[in-house]
Structure formats: structure tokens, C-alpha cells
Amino acid sequence: MNDNIEDYILGQLLYYTHTQALLPRIKPNWFESPLHKHIIEKMIAKYFNNDPIDYLSLSKGLTREQVQWMVRVGNDVYTTPNVSSYLPLLEQKYLRKQFIAEIEKLDFAVPLSKLIEQTQTIIDNTQFTTIHDPVSIHKVSAKALDNITDAISRGESITGKPTGWKSLDRILGGWNAGDLIVMAARPGMGKTALALSLIYEFGKLGGKGLIISLEMSAEQLAKRYFSLITDIVNWKIRNATLKEHEVIQLCESVTKSNVEFFVDEEPNASIQQIKSKAKIHKAKHGLDLLVIDYIQLMKGSKQNREQEIAEISRGLKLLAKELNITVIVLAQLSRKPEDRADKRPMLSDIRESGSIEQDADVVMFPFRPAKYEATQPEIEDAELIIAKNRHGECSIIPTTYIGNRTLYKENIEPKISSPFEF
């Protein structure tokens, strides 16, 4: 069938006129034969112009032999109409040829990291475009119901993976595979502290996490991590002014800790590099939660910055769906909150916010009111504002920020505020 698939599809489109509704799905480049490509191009143009598509209208410009061949292909149809079943095979044949051609162009003398990045770009660009047929709501509902009943049978009240924070589990349903979560704040609000706190709590429950840091080094993150697993203030760890008993405490805590997540420092990462790293990491170690710090430091392939951010945010959303993981990406806010009486951020405060806000399933803002006070206590009442939530309501979660440990904690008995407008 592969050898004659072009004849087969073209014949069905000519014989069964109702199959011509599939023409918008077809790209002429999928056809190797110049004649096939020419006829398909004419059929597509006539379809969009609402012109009749028949042997007479298509024969203009063709030789006598070509017209005879076209009529013969249409008359040779011997099966029921099933063009949609064979379009993916035609596209796959075309993409395979293109993929091999792009691989052959690679310069294998470049460094391995560059070679992997270029290969990943080729893979990402080799995407099927044929549209799947709609699925009955009964079939979709059955699958969703199975997921819910499975969660109930396991004694779980959420459909995602537990976050380690009961309040987040109630509002978001856990870390849901395929979600892109944007965590945004002004500098000094503790974005990285919150992200590290959440991935640590997730790791305590056995979740598999990876932090890709474009801002802080792996060693800087490790020093913050020490404050999570001990009660030693961060400045002592950072400045190496620990007393003997604190060194012993730290060594014991690191040795005994069974929490594991991975850290990757990549100061100049592109969206393609991050995709490659995430895919390789999942294959080697497994991956449920990917944290990226932060989006404005990432690079795309577009010249225009707005288009570049749009490419990056869309790429991260597609990565979450492709790998079936949750992606949390940190983002910077503009100065707008500081000009308002109420300093709480809003969605429009996200720098280059259009595409980021659109692609995100959840947008959350860590907010420390004491940041704007003359004196700041070591332990502060803070908030985690859920400003966008595709899974349910928007809410404010009361939290505690411990500044000398750069640590966010969920209140033991959190009282989640009523939903509000953003």
C-alpha cells in the first residue's frame, strides 16, 4: 500500500466527493509525484474558492495522457471511503524523508552539547499535523471517570500528584500532568525560595523533580537547601560562620536525608536546550515536576522579544503535555505593583505577559506585605495568590515566610480566602 498510497488517496478524493472535506488537512508537499502534487494543489484551491472539483475542472493544463491517468485512478477505487486513515501514513512517509535529510546535514564535528541541541530541534520540528477525528463525549467521559474512580480507590482526594501543601492540593488538585504553572513576583519576594520549598516538599512524598536554574548556581541552591533540612539560618551557611555543633548538625541532616531532586545550572539556556535536558532527564531518572528559574532569561529563535517569549511559553506548555509532567516556570513582574496603594500583583503585571498568561494553566504570585514596611520581621505573614486557575477558583493562601532561612511554609491549618477578581 505504501508504494501506491498517493494514487489511493487521490483516487478516493476524486471518486467520493464527500471526502473532499478533508482537503484542508492535506499539504501538497506530502506527495512525491509532481503530477499528484499539482492535482492536489488545484483541488485545494478550488475547495477554498467553492468551485466544483471534477475531472473536467481539473483537466485544464494537463496532457491527454495525464487526464487519462487521472480518470483511471478515480475509477480504480475499490474500497469504502477511508482517506482519513491513510493521511497520517502519507505524512509520516514525507516527514521520515525530511527527517533523514536534516540529520544528514548535521556537522558531527561540533561539541556534543551543540549536536544534541541541533538534533532536538530537528525532532521538535518533525511534528505530525494531520488532525485527529473528534472523539465521542461518551468515550472521553468514560476515561475521565476511570481516572476519578482510580483515585478514590487509592484513597486519594486529588487526581494529580500531591504537592505536599494541603491547600494547593485542594485548589489545584495536586500537580497535574500537562500543566504549565507560572510563578511570578517582584525581585525579593522569594520566587526561588518558594519554588525550592515546593520541590522539596514534593520530593519528601517521592515525587521526581528537576530544577533548571538560569540565575543561581547549583552551589547557591544547595546552600539554600541546607536551610530547608536544618534550622540553621542561611547567612551562616552562606558565609561559612557555622559553629562546630552546627557543622555536625548539617552533616547529619545531609547524610540522613532521603529526599532527592536534581539541579541543573544553565545560565544561557534556550528553549530547545531545556526541552532536550528535560527529555533526557526523564528517560534516565524519571520526571514529574520541572522548575525553571526564570523565563525572562531564556532564549528563543525569534528576533522580536515579544515573539520570542511567545515561542518560549508555548514551547514549555507543549513540553508539559508531551512529557506528561508539570512545568513550573518563574517569571519577573514589572514595577507596576509598586505604584499602587495595594501592592498585590495582577496578571497584567507579568513582563511580556500576553503569551505567558495565555499559555499558563495556573498563575501564582508569592507576596510578602512586610517587604514594603520599614522594618521586616524574621518570620512574616505572607500570601500565595492564585491569580489564574484553569482547574477551579482563584484564591489567596496564607503562608509564612522565614527570611533568615529563605523558606516558605504552608500555614498548618490554612484558611483559604474567598475567590476574588483580578
In this predicted structure, what is the pLDDT of residue 135?
66
Distance of alpha carbon 248 from alpha carbon 421, whole angstroms: 50
Neighbours of 394 (CB within 10 A): 20
In this predicted structure, what is the pLDDT of residue 251?
82
pLDDT digits (tens, 9 = 90+) for 271-299: 888 888 888 888 888 999 999 987 877 87
Question: By CB neighbour count within 10 A (0-12 exposed, 13-18 middle, 19+ buried), where does 152 fall?
Answer: exposed
3-state secondary structure of 9: helix
In this predicted structure, what is the pLDDT of residue 2?
43
In this predicted structure, what is the pLDDT of residue 422?
42
Neighbours of 70 (CB within 10 A): 20
* Angle in degrees, 0-180, between the axes of helices 34-48 and 64-75, rounded to the nearest 10: 80
Q: What is the DSSP letter of 372?
A: G
331 closest CA partner among 365, 304, 299, 307: 365
Distance of alpha carbon 402 from alpha carbon 387, whole angstroms: 23
Low-confidence ranges of the chain (pLDDT < 70): 1-3, 78-79, 128-136, 138, 140, 144, 147-148, 151-157, 235, 238-239, 351-354, 412-422
In this predicted structure, what is the pLDDT of residue 179?
94
In this predicted structure, what is the pLDDT of residue 208?
92
pLDDT digits (tens, 9 = 90+) for 328-364: 999 888 888 888 888 888 888 886 656 788 888 999 9
Distance of alpha carbon 201 from alpha carbon 248, whole angstroms: 24
3-state secondary structure of 200: helix
Distance of alpha carbon 273 from alpha carbon 124, whole angstroms: 11
Predicted structure pTM score: 0.70
Question: Cβ distance 47 to 20 under 8 Å?
Answer: yes
